[in-house]
A and B are shown apart, each in its own frame.
Chain A
């Protein structure tokens, strides 16, 4: 009986803690938006973060995009040639990338590479009292530290996803056309005919923008909210990567069901 009671008690405490955290995160997000204008006016702060989050993630995005595209080229050709439609390889590669793989895989990579770094940086600033020191100097840490990192992530994400997709298409072309010998004209012309700018490309960009907001918000919040100890920072980084991955996949499902319902 006591065991059951304890279980219920723990469950209740967990729910209360969860609701409390969601409330805190919402309040944090509103504060972040409130101080964003102040932070965006000093553009060099955000540009610096675009460099750290975006430019420094280029290598992993470019290389991963290339390999994903090459794998798509191989697998796609393997399947399509059974039905004698290997010329549609370009369409398959481009649609898979712009609609799904580009935004989703780039966001997952971005969360692991840049999201974790942002959480670690803000978490360590909190642990070493840098945020408190800033607050004591009458400089708001949300405006000076958090907002530029958030917007740096939000701006970088769609650009990185676009680059990922472009590299993927290049990888697909490299394998399909250069190595396997699919007809180049068919590869590109079918792609041009079948990929719609509004439904495929733009929806992909919207997806990556939403993922960017989710990943950047989770990363800055986990860093700002972490327990200021070595263990606390390490847990916060883990939470950033895990929560971001779950958020990306769940949001992808929701967005896909809205965007592509009844299309193609």
Chain B
């Protein structure tokens, strides 16, 4: 029951390649997300996870292959069509990316005010409902600078779901959070996805939290998908990369050392490395 078998895919990437000039970041990526699914993209830092998210959000264009969201091939879309599609997406950036000159309330109200003509009373009620969903109704009047990292991310989450998106994307939602905030955000991601009937893609390297809340996991290393499966399949996997990742081993298929000449050579000055 891999998602690739399903025709009901909200997001579908086929043989996608992405390169900055000569430097290849991603290659041969086949990836899909069905409606209602929470999918995690995992891998070490710098493996191309965030690039993949930006390709799906249309912020970057694939160098090869096709990226389609809700049946539309992103490569052929005009700016207007892309914006129309993005109104159905919500994205949570790693550090929230809240507008620092606006209050929490105005941040969450921003997409509503920009894209709808709702009367202020209705905007108020909607914002309060979204803030209530992330437990921060009481913080509506605060400025982003007055929030902790976890709270800022919850506000950004409320803003990302303001227009009830069909697809929610998270870039490292757990980075730098304490265990309580981490659990809270994890549960919110799952609950909001189910309540909105949306699909979720999250880029993360927090394996413990992710295994509890996601439906499917892709592992990326060196720009390729090296393993994939449901949480149970991943736990049972004998793939050396997955094993190293789950058990947080320092050395394995992902080497501890950045490629270099032998240490002895460096120490006695035979190499500049």
Contact = CB atoms under 8 A, between A and B. Distances in A.
Contact of B100 (A130, A138, A139, A144): A130
A87 B271 CA distance: 81
Main SS of the interface on chain A?
helix
B211 to A, nearest CB: 27
B235 interface: no
- Interface centre among A134, A135, A136, by most B CB within 10 Å? A136
A129 interface: yes
Contacts of A129: 93-95, 97
Interface string B88-115: 0101011101111000000000110011
Contacts of A124: 100
B114 A132 contact: no
Contacts of A132: 59, 93, 97
Q: How large is the interface on B (under 10, 10 to 19, 20 to 34, 35 or more residues)?
A: 20 to 34
Contacts of B87: 137-138
Contacts of B114: 137-139, 144
A135 B114 CA distance: 12
Interface in A136-175: 136-140, 144
A138 B97 contact: no
A226 B237 CA distance: 45
Interface in B38-94: 57, 59, 83-84, 86-87, 89, 91, 93-94
A150 B97 CA distance: 23
Contacts of B57: 136
Contacts of B97: 128-130, 132-133
Given A128-B100, A130-B100, A136 B95 contact: no
A124 B86 CA distance: 24
Contacts of A125: 99-100
Q: Which size class do A's interface residues fall under?
A: 10 to 19
B48 to A, nearest CB: 18
A127 to B, nearest CB: 10
Interface in B145-192: 156, 159
B110 A137 contact: yes
B111 A137 contact: yes
A134 to B, nearest CB: 8
B3 to A, nearest CB: 23
A246 B146 CA distance: 40
B91 A133 contact: yes
B93 A138 contact: no
A154 to B, nearest CB: 21
A12 to B, nearest CB: 19
A217 B7 CA distance: 49
Given A128-B95, A129-B93, A129-B95, A135 B59 contact: yes
A130 B99 contact: yes
B99 A138 contact: no
B59 A138 contact: no
Contact of A138 (B95, B115, B159): B115
A28 to B, nearest CB: 15
A127 B93 CA distance: 12
Nearest to B99: A130
A135 B86 CA distance: 9
Contacts of B95: 128-129
A120 B83 CA distance: 27
Nearest to B54: A132
Nearest first, the 10 A-B pairs at minimum CB distance are A133-B97, A138-B83, A129-B97, A138-B86, A136-B91, A138-B87, A129-B93, A139-B114, A137-B111, A130-B97
5 contacts: A128-B100, A130-B99, A133-B91, A133-B97, A139-B111
